[in-house]
Structure 1
Amino acid sequence: MNARYRDRAVYLPDADALVVADVHVGRDAASAVEIPFGERADLTGRLADLLDAFAPGDVVVAGDLLHAFDRIPDGVAETVDGLAAAVADAGADLTVVRGNHDRLLDSFDVAATDAYRVADTVICHGHERPDPHADADRYVVGHDHPAIEIEGKRRPCLLYGPGAFRGADVLVLPAFTRLAPGSTVNGMRTGDFMSPLVTDADALRPVVRDDDRGETLEFPPLGEFRRLL
């Protein structure tokens, strides 16, 4: 698969697109903590670093830009504006795919759609089955927030399934927000995943990006990898 990974995101060179998923703006405000995490600076700073690294033409949020279902907490609008400004300043176009948390997305001045195609790739959130008439070689989704535990340390991971859905490849992204603990996939079976695009969990290959060392670690499919852990 022609893709480059960095900080919970994927850059697709063939489509000149940077994709992140599950940003969950407003999760900081919804968390029961006395000291705020500093969500706005974290999200906008990390996105700016990705824009500098890849200089994409398109930036796509694969669902759940927002966290709250029924209200817009204080500071959320400013954070969304900051993310959109970072993309615009980099000369890229921003598209937000609607996720199951994005019920209030129309309150924001962002281009929104249920699915977005770039080249031979369809980007959707993954909480619903995509259009059966969509002709895609690859689906990039979020929704499940995958993470993997290796030697007692939990790490966000991507999951890559060649030919995993209707003969198309599937790439599941981790949550871009660092406030999401993630679902540890080590022992998860197909029925434990929320996305209908996961049809055979054992065939999914975990991919872990170690940004501190500048390495991307690709592991055997989960069905085999479990026996090695």
Structure 2
Amino acid sequence: MEQTYDGRGLLVGETLVVADCHVGRGTGGELEFPVGSGTDMVERFRGLVERHDPGEVVLAGDLLHSFRTVPRTVADTVAGLQAACREAGARLVVTPGNHDTMLDSVWDGPTEREYRVGDTVVLHGHEAPESEADRYVVGHDHPTIEIEGQRRPCYLVGEGQYRSSEVVMLPSFNKLNAGVRVNSMSAGDFQSPLVTDADRLAPVVWDEAARETREFPPLGEFRRML
């Protein structure tokens, strides 16, 4: 099934997937998140939905950030994501992540541990999947790649990563997440059990200014080029 990268999201057929929104992620102190960050997330999300007109959208885990509290501002942001889908006629599904302990307080829609889209299974990626699939789409690790001293959010794409199947790891949709620098990481450094051979993971960077992707060699080869 064809996949398209765009703005930290992934279109698989007619299904749009984003991961690790971490709504409520803050910068410390009294603020749950900086003023305007929730609006930015909803606007970027709405832009993706409007560009691709998906039949369904899957939030692949860690929709929420806090394990303990869900302020009104967080509920408002989640409502904004729901409204963007509703206005576009897209069904919204959540595959809960390890941070989503209070998901029920802001979400009463469809929830699936693993969500199948043809030959692809979408899940958060903090636990091993139960379903067999040709491709697994996950989040959880928030990958970034450092190139010429600058860190950029990236997708990681690897064939034969889990049960001989392809794994596609998405960057965090929340711009406040610094992410992990994957340049020198081994499989054991990743939190997701679906990564079994980091050297075979190829970074893909979305260039927002050019509106295109930049694909790089697998990490095992890429390290020798840096």
Provide TM-score, normalisation by structure 2: 0.95
Report Cα offsets for 1:115-152 as digits up to 9, x if no partner.
11111110010000111xx2211100000000001011
Partner of 1:113: 112
Partner of 2:68: 70
Q: Distance in 2 between matches of 1:20 and 1:69?
A: 20
Give, in angstroms, the shift of residue 31 of structure 1: 3.3
- Listed as ranges, the gaps of 5+ residues in structure 1 are none
Runs (4+) off by over 3 Å? 30-35
Partner of 2:208: 211
Give, in angstroms, the shift of residue 37 of structure 1: 4.2
1:19-98 matches, within 5 Å, as: 19-28=17-26, 31-32=28-29, 36-98=34-96
Give the number of equivalent residue pairs.
224
Q: What is the identity, as a one-letter code, of the residue corresponding to 2:82?
A: A
Q: What is the identity, as a one-letter code, of the residue corresponding to 2:54?
A: P
1:196 to 193, 205, 208: 193
- Listed as ranges, the gaps of 5+ residues in structure 2 are none
Q: Distance in 1 between matches of 2:5 and 2:164?
A: 23
Provide TM-score, normalisation by structure 1: 0.94
Secondary structure at 2:136 match in 1: strand
Partner of 1:9: 9
The percent identity for this pair of structures is: 55
Q: What is the identity, as a one-letter code, of the residue corresponding to 1:140?
A: V
Partner of 1:135: 132
Partner of 1:152: 149
Q: What is the identity, as a one-letter code, of the residue corresponding to 1:96?
A: V
Give, in angstroms, the shift of residue 163 of structure 1: 2.1
Report Cα offsets for 1:141-200 as digits up to 9, x if no partner.
000000001011110000001121101110000000000001010111111100000000
RMSD value, Cα: 1.5
Q: Distance in 2 between matches of 1:51 and 1:71?
A: 28
Report Cα offsets for 1:33-75 as digits up to 9, x if no partner.
8792412211110011001111000100110000001221231
Q: Distance in 1 between matches of 2:147 and 2:75?
A: 37
**2:220 aligned with 1:227:** no
